[in-house]
Amino acid sequence: MAGAGEEAAAIGDLFLILMVGAAVIWSLVVGAAVYAHRRRAHPGLEREARLFVIWGGVVFPVLLIGALLVWGLFLLKGITADEGDLTVRVDGERWWWRVTYETPTGDVVTANEIRLPQGRTALFRLTADDVIHAFWVPALGGKMDMVPGRETTLALTPKKLGNWGGLCAEFCGGAHALMRFDAVVMAPDAFETWLAREAETAQVAADDPGFQVFLDEGCGACHTIRGTQAAGPVGPDLTHLAGREKLGAGLYEMTPEHMARWITDTHAMKPDIDMPPYPHLSGPRLDTLVDFLMRLE
């Protein structure tokens, strides 16, 4: 069946078999009921009926459901594998995604955008910071719960290039429906280039006027920009913010207009989130800050 990843295809096949199988069995059961209704009693009927119940009602379902169970368990083993060509940790936050690539040279932290190399198996190690979330990229594979204090795993092997989009699939509070992310499948070479760049620190001049506004407003208390003194652990890492396709966890195109509105009218853009709005910012001061953020590529 269609899908952009191996695991989605396997789940799609299972779904198709279940649906077709259910339709066939439903037809047989209805057929048997109609047949029984029209059948006239005769001396051997009771024995025939008993045999029919034993074969059709016990042996056949046990074999069929047993086979489906074994198939399903193998499939589950594949999609919750504990090995991959790369490992990505994702923490569910309210209401965004903290993303950490584990590389031989150390962790690379980003947020709300997951880039994956085509044809490689990515092992996701999932957890949550506060409440239960669920990680789901429908085009690539199954969903998996993210539980505080516990780690779950999920393997995804994307086959097709593109941005397939992901979302939270477990009701987790106010902005649950707006807890989305981008899942971008890239050619392996392009992915390696992207990851190497993502690992770099930001190039920020100490006297950058936009960075001064950033610090003055206290943004660095919550956000980290690697390579600067802004090292807040609360909100998304902003080191390569402008390199992401979307703003606000998969919600808005990354444009200066959206950025300005995000800062000043935050809760109209995304209700209930912890980030406070900065409505007092306007004019050149806001422009300077937005310009600075849009240079964090």
Footprint on this chain of ligand CUA (rule: CB under 6 A): 92, 95, 133, 168, 170-172, 176, 179
Q: How far is the CB of 131 from ligand CUA (least distance, A)?
A: 7
Q: How far is the CB of 167 from ligand CUA (least distance, A)?
A: 8
33 CB contacts (<8 Å, ≥6 apart)? none
Q: Which amino acid is at 100?
A: T
140 CB contacts (<8 Å, ≥6 apart)? 3, 4, 5, 7, 8, 156, 158, 164, 183, 185
Of 92 and 235, the one with the shorter C-beta distance to ligand CUA is 92
Coil, helix or strand at residue 263: helix
Of 89 and 285, the one with the shorter C-beta distance to ligand CUA is 89
Of 98 and 133, the one with the shorter C-beta distance to ligand CUA is 133
Q: How far is the CB of 203 from ligand CUA (least distance, A)?
A: 33
Give the up-direction half-sphere exposure of residue 276: CA atoms within 13 A in the CB hemisphere.
9
Residue environment code for 177-201, b if the CB has 16+ CB neighbours within 10 A, otherwise e: ebbbbbbbbbeeeebeebbeebbee
Coil, helix or strand at residue 206: coil
Of 95 and 214, the one with the shorter C-beta distance to ligand CUA is 95
φ/ψ bin of 250: left (φ > 0), alpha (ψ from -120 to 50), beta (otherwise)? left
Of 78 and 165, the one with the shorter C-beta distance to ligand CUA is 165
